[in-house]
Amino acid sequence: MKLLFERSRPGRGMEYLPACNTPPAEFAPGQLRNAPPRLPELSEVDLDRHYTELGKQTHGVNDGFYPLGSCTMKYNPRVNEALAALPGFSELHPLQPAETVQGALEVLYRTEKLLCEITGMTGMTMQPAAGAHGEYTGLLLIRRYHQSRGDMARTKIIVPDSAHGTNPASAAMAGFTVVSVPSNAQGGVDLDALREAVGPDTAGLMLTNPNTLGLFDPNILEITRIVHEAGGLCYYDGANLNAVMGHARPGNMGFDCVHVNLHKTFSTPHGGGGPGSGPVGCKAFLEQFLPEPRVRCVDGEYRFFTPKHSLGRVRSFYGNFAVVVRALAYILSLGRGGIPEAAENAVLNANYLMNRLAGHYDMACGHSSCMHEFVIDLSRLKAETGVTAMDVAKRLLDFGIHPPTMYFPLIVHEALMVEPTETESPETLDKAAELFLQIWQEAHDDPELLHTAPHTTPIGRPDEVAAARKPVVRYSFES
């Protein structure tokens, strides 16, 4: 379809602003741009229809099943959108005096308390704007902790080989060296390898639990004990918190700090790649290092304050505030009963779908049960038919299903990571199971059909190699 720039016609456009009735400001010619930016000139109807067409070429949660592993693509309640858009929030300047934004500060304060209870932490910052940003912030807490003790030798962060790519990348950004530890045969942390890896240079461990194989590591208490005994701290990557909220807490597992993804576990929408929000919580001994500002309540009045040994700022203002409003509304809706109910149904749905597929598809590490997600290992299918994880994923597109996460975790070769979430009905899971089994059959009967999939989508498979080899990353007006 056409680009905005290809729809543009000189002289078209709307008048959104009135004529200015104060004298023009004068600038020296050297301060002015030589030519106007070549922004499109469109009538409003052209503009609106352009995006309606783009909308039709975008798969949202309401377009169908979205079992994208590790991303927790649950339904995003409409009421939360309406509440975040209230003028009492959306029209607030971030530098208004505290007396005029008591409700906004209360949002930050109450959400902090609720998330602390859910994670088993004592303090939290809402400043990080995404999960990876949260990881970075949590690692800075760990860094500050060791520095405050004069323990400058702790330069290494241990990360399992099954971890999200953001973990090692965040550790590097926070100035640490990454030590990768292998997984055991079940996909959990290899305890002997961990014991081998820890030492006086260990700053900490980053762990997702349930891990990226959808396994709750049964050795979790031993894992955090090993790290603590070596003098390191334990960081909980909350990407998979949806499986255990209300049932188990990172704090109880022995973790010292965590981040949660409000755009996964707490149902805030993902916006095609953000805005997210990645609040970071910690236990009491780390609170003094949290980013500034934090909110406290004194005699019913909310005020900002700077923690005693704050690591500074990681973002301007207070993070993605409107995302926090949505998450607060969600937590208040679910409450004490709904939070664990959501988690156990996420786990039930995953096990149900996994069980339906297990007769045909192999599960990674031979798992027969899982938490909120499971990983299919298609190595055998590939050996038998030549059909890859990519082919199966692309074929799913033909049936209106967003494919699972492909080729992750890296320790499984032909991986498809399936996370149904709790907001899918048994009918949806049954239908998906039937399609998976149909695709299994197609792989054996007509592998070419899968190699060339998808067939019904707006475009076919894109040439990604050409895109990277000769990058065209903006429209060229000259062509």
Partner 1 sequence: MASYVPSTKAERQTMLESLGLVSTAELYHDVPPAARVETLDLPEGKSELEVVDAITALAGKNQVFHSVFRGAGAYKHYIPAVVKAITSREEFVTAYTPYQAEISQGVLQSIFEYQTQICELTGMDVSNASVYDGATAAAEAVFMCQDRRRTGVLAAATANPQVLDVMRTYCESRGVPFTLLPAKDYAVDPDALAEQLKSGPACLFLQNPNYYGVLEDVQPAVDAAHAAGAKVILSVNPISLGLLKTPGEYGADIAVGEGQPLGLPMSFGGPYLGFMACKQPLMRKLPGRIVGQTTDSRGNRCFVLTLQAREQHIRREKASSNICSNEALCAMTASVYLAAMGPGGLRQAAESSASHAHYLAGQLSELGFGLKTSKPFFHEFLTDCPVNPELLCRKLEAKGILPGLPLESGILWCCTELNRKPQIDGLTAAIEEVLQDEAAV
Range 316-355, binding partner 1 (CB under 8 A) = 316-323, 325, 328-329, 331-342, 344-345, 347-349, 351-352, 355
Residues 6+ apart with CB under 8 A from 16: none
Q: Of the candidates 377, 330, 284, which has an alpha carbon nearest to the alpha carbon of residue 80?
A: 330
Query: Of 136-144, 380-388, 412-420, 438-446, which segment contacts partner 1 by CB under 8 A?
Result: 136-144
Is 424 a binding residue for partner 1 by CB under 8 A? The answer is yes
Q: Which residues of 429-456 are buried (b: 16+ CB within 10 A; e: fewer)?
A: bebbbebbeebbebbeeebebbbebbee
Is 101 a binding residue for partner 1 by CB under 8 A? The answer is yes
Of 77 and 307, the one with the shorter C-beta distance to partner 1 is 77
Is 57 a binding residue for partner 1 by CB under 8 A? The answer is yes
Q: Please give the helix or strand (H or E) that residue 207 lies within, else none.
A: strand 202-208
Alpha-carbon span 391 to 388, nearest angstrom:
5
Of 221 and 380, the one with the shorter C-beta distance to partner 1 is 221
Of 200 and 460, the one with the shorter C-beta distance to partner 1 is 460
Residues 158-177 interacting with partner 1 (rule: CB under 8 A)? 164-166, 168-175
Q: What are the structure tokens assigned to 274, written together?
A: 């953000």
Is 33 a binding residue for partner 1 by CB under 8 A? The answer is yes
Least distance CB 252 / partner 1 (angstroms): 5
8 Å CB contact between 49 and 408: no
Of 45 and 380, the one with the shorter C-beta distance to partner 1 is 45
Identify the bridge partners of residue 236 per DSSP, sorted by sequence position.
207, 258
Residues 226-255 interacting with partner 1 (rule: CB under 8 A)? 244, 246-249, 252-254
Alpha-carbon span 359 to 209, nearest angstrom:
27
Q: Please give the helix or strand (H or E) that residue 301 lies within, else none.
A: strand 301-305
Is 379 a binding residue for partner 1 by CB under 8 A? The answer is no
Token pair 């597929």 is at which residue?
357
- Contacting residue, 226, 314, 378, 416, with partner 1 by CB under 8 A: 314
Residues 6+ apart with CB under 8 A from 50: 2, 4, 7, 42
- Contacting residue, 24, 150, 300, 359, with partner 1 by CB under 8 A: 24
Is 150 a binding residue for partner 1 by CB under 8 A? The answer is no
Q: Omega before 409 cis (within 30°)? A: yes
Dihedrals φ, ψ of 194, to 5°? -65, -45
- Contacting residue, 65, 69, 114, 197, with partner 1 by CB under 8 A: 114
Q: What are the structure tokens assigned to 415, written together?
A: 């991986």
Of 184 and 384, the one with the shorter C-beta distance to partner 1 is 184
Say whether 202 sits in a helix, a strand or coil: strand
Residues 261-300 interacting with partner 1 (rule: CB under 8 A)? 263, 267, 269-276, 291
Is 40 a binding residue for partner 1 by CB under 8 A? The answer is yes
Of 81 and 379, the one with the shorter C-beta distance to partner 1 is 81
Q: What are the structure tokens assigned to 140, written together?
A: 């800075």
Least distance CB 463 / partner 1 (angstroms): 5
Of 2 and 444, the one with the shorter C-beta distance to partner 1 is 2
Residues 193-212 interacting with partner 1 (rule: CB under 8 A)? none
Exposed/middle/buried for residue 12 (C-beta within 10 Å: 0-12, 13-18, 19+)? middle
Least distance CB 305 / partner 1 (angstroms): 16
Is 369 a binding residue for partner 1 by CB under 8 A? The answer is yes
Least distance CB 215 / partner 1 (angstroms): 7
Least distance CB 260 / partner 1 (angstroms): 13
Query: Of 194-202, 373-381, 422-430, 436-444, which segment contacts partner 1 by CB under 8 A?
Result: 422-430
Least distance CB 423 / partner 1 (angstroms): 5
Q: Omega before 37 cis (within 30°)? A: no
Report the Cα–Cα distance between both ends of the chain, in Å, rounded: 17
Amino acid at the residue 83: L
